[in-house]
Amino acid sequence: MKKIWWIGVWVMGNPMVVNLLAAWYEVNVYNRTAKKAQNLIEKWAQLRSTILELVNASDIVITIIWDPKSVEEVYFWEAWIFSAELTGKTLIDMTTTEPSLATKIYNTAKVHNCNSLDAPVSWGDVGAQSGTLSIMVGGDEQIFTEILPLFGILWKSITYTWWAWNGQHTKMANQISIAGNTIALCESLVYAQKVWLDIEKTIQVVSAGAAWNWWWTNLAPRIQIWELDTCFYIKHFVKDMRIALDECQKMNIVLPWLALVHQLYTALISQWDQELWTQALIKILRKLNNLPES
């Protein structure tokens, strides 16, 4: 059984490590805020005090942290990942980050005689807890195949996307679709409220027709009861959309809807709270249309 080194045990990483421990993997963890790993220590994870101490105790290195800047620091700062002896080890970054950074990690890993996969995930903390995440993996196919048993514990859908960085590009396509679906749902509900439709019946009718999707089944009922604190943090989603927009700029791609949704969420953060969840977009649309919040 290979030893796993895991960096980042907050909203996503914590339940994922729990699932690995339940499958009897030996997991060493590191988190800048050590107390967030306390429940994992109680389940027999080993808490390491430094990155260099951690790497010597592990065969596979998994990171799932906040943003591209944090990923850059964890991999490239002095006395962090690429300062360690990595020969033969496998690095897996599951953070949603920049494709260019995934490429940099992949190329640097080759110099250090180790392997790298970029493997962002979808389905959020609920999927992490239940082991039903969807993962999109870029990197060498042989390494992907070797890691499959580990992935199988954590995810229901595992897709190999070929080259390094393609995992991150696939995640960007996923987030662009989420942006469109979320604003479409919220605009539909604002329209229904404005013309005095019964919101519960509207949700039932639309969910039974051609416009049905996951958002109507899962987020519309939450919006109806004004439950805006479960699903996916706005601050994370805005970060992801910013990455997608930067990639679009590099490639001269024009995606007006993505740009609009990013602007609306940015306004939502400035007027309310970045700790709300994605369906809270309804707040700013209701304000624009002079509707009560709930």
Q: Catalytic site residues? A: 171
- What is the distance between the alpha carbons of residues 179 and 162, in angstroms, rounded to a whole number? 25
* Nearest by Cα to 102 from 171, 190, 42, 43: 171
The conformational region for residue 165 under phi > 0 = left, psi -120 to 50 = alpha, else beta, is left
Q: Read out DSSP for 158-170? A: EEE-SSTTHHHHH
- What is the distance between the alpha carbons of residues 174 and 133, in angstroms, rounded to a whole number? 13
Contact 137, 167 (CB under 8 A): yes
Contact 234, 277 (CB under 8 A): yes
Residues in the chain: 294
CA-to-CA separations, 158 to 121, 136, 179, 234, 267, in angstroms, rounded? 9, 6, 22, 25, 35
- What is the distance between the alpha carbons of residues 86 and 31, in angstroms, rounded to a whole number? 20
CA-to-CA separations, 40 to 56, 64, 92, 105, 151, in angstroms, rounded? 20, 16, 20, 28, 19
**Pairing mode, if any, of strands 60-63 and 3-7?**
parallel
* Burial group, residue 20, by CB count within 10 angstroms (0-12, 13-18, 19+): buried
